[in-house]
Amino acid sequence: MLHTIGMRLAVLAAMLAASLSAQAQPVVLDPDPCPVERAVYELRVPDSEGAWRLGLVPAKTMASMASDLYLRLTTPQRDYWFTFSVSQGYGGISVFPVTDPYNAAGPRNLLAEPYGDNPDGATDEEIGGWLRFLSLDASLAVAFDPPMKGDEAPAFIMLPELGQGLWYAAAAFTDDPAADRDPMPVGLFQLSGCLVVPPAPAGP
């Protein structure tokens, strides 16, 4: 009997180790279509090993009034987090920087008015103005609505103004006191894979 219990414990331990390993290094597959919350996007520079990655992380409830997803940008220096906003008419989709939503207190707005409510936050001039988010399908048609959980992942994503903001004022996009100039190339983030499971929900 002790042998049987020992075998069961060993199996459970192996399953737990496999689960933790999968969480630390998620296996990437290529299903078609891929739900947007499992999508992995990459922007690479030719002849360079550096990579800039985008992911869309589910919120426990709503990340903003416009979407139930957070946008996470991972550069060679650090992670940056954003929520979505959408304007009526020709304004389109934009993103606003926030602190890490996995923190116990939840995300904190990093912008001052008119885009945020943080009195000590960055101004629109500091972040380079309006931060557009362009979601494009394989034919390069632009989506008009922010992504939501369960949506099919677009083929490409572009953030035209973000590179300029990170170059001149990276500290405005993070609460990391060590943040300095963070160069990001201009280009399209391309769908490069699909996680087996989405990231754990973030937010309070």
Both tokens assigned to 8: 């069961």
Kind and range of the H or E element at 3?
helix 2-24
Residues 130-160: b if buried by 16+ CB within 10 A, e if exposed: ebebbbbeeeeeebeebbbbebebbbbbbbe
Kind and range of the H or E element at 163?
helix 162-169
pLDDT mean over 50-76: 93
DSSP letters along 42-82, please? Answer: EEE-TT---EEEEEEEEBSS-SSSS-SEEEEEE-SS-EEEE
pLDDT in tens, 84-98: 988 876 778 989 899
pTM of the model: 0.79
Between 19-28, 47-56, 110-119, 161-170, the lowest mean confidence (pLDDT) is in: 19-28
Q: Specify the pLDDT at position 172.
A: 83
* CA torsion, ordered 104, 200, 98, 66, to nearest 10 deg: -120
pLDDT mean over 101-119: 77
* CA torsion, ordered 198, 200, 202, 204, to nearest 10 deg: 140
| Spatial distance between the Cα atoms of 14 and 18, rounded to a whole number of angstroms | 6
- The separation between CA 179 and the C-alpha centre of its own chain, rounded to angstroms, equals 18
Sequence-ordered list of residues with C-beta below 8 angstroms from that of 87, at least 6 positions apart, any chain: 94
pLDDT mean over 116-122: 61
Q: Give 5-25 as a 3 state SS string.
A: HHHHHHHHHHHHHHHHHHHHC
Specify the DSSP class assigned to residue 84: E
pLDDT in tens, 154-187: 999 999 989 888 888 888 888 888 888 888 888 8
| Spatial distance between the Cα atoms of 142 and 133, rounded to a whole number of angstroms | 10
| Spatial distance between the Cα atoms of 37 and 35, rounded to a whole number of angstroms | 6
Q: Specify the pLDDT at position 179.
A: 84
Percent of the chain residues past pLDDT 90, beyond the cut: 43
